[in-house]
Amino acid sequence: MPKKAHSEEQIVAVLRQGEAGEKVADICRKVGISEGTYYAWKKQYAGLGINELRELRQLREENGRLKRLVADLSLDRQILQEIVPKKL
């Protein structure tokens, strides 16, 4: 996964500037992003505060960890099922 150029906290700060009434074109020029990126961020992070953003990040990390755990256990189960019939 490629590293993001802007942290989620920076993204929320940029969106707050837009909510404060600053022109989107000016914001995008300062930050170095396209207007399409700005609106994609707005769609994804609309209404999120810093605390909600941190909680969302933690939940995503935990979800990824749990998915890897399920995949590992499923693989172990499949291997064991292949071994058991051969021994009977």
Q: Is the pLDDT of residue 1 over 60?
A: no
Q: What is the pLDDT of residues 25-76, one digit of tens each?
A: 999 999 999 999 999 999 988 877 888 888 888 999 999 999 999 999 999 9
Q: How many C-beta atoms lie closer than 10 Å to residue 11's C-beta?
A: 21
Q: Is the pLDDT of residue 81 over 70?
A: yes
Domain boundaries, the chain: 1-48, 50-88
Long-range contacts of 3-9 (CB under 8 A, 24+ apart): 6/31, 6/33, 8/45, 8/53, 8/57, 9/50, 9/53
* Third-level CATH fold of 1-48: Arc Repressor Mutant, subunit A (1.10.10)
Dist. CA 32–CA 27, nearest whole Å: 8
Provide the pLDDT for residue 35. Answer: 93
Dist. CA 15–CA 22, nearest whole Å: 10
Q: Provide mean pLDDT across the span 71-87.
A: 88
Tell me which of 67 and 16 has the higher pLDDT.
67
Tokens of 19: 């909510």
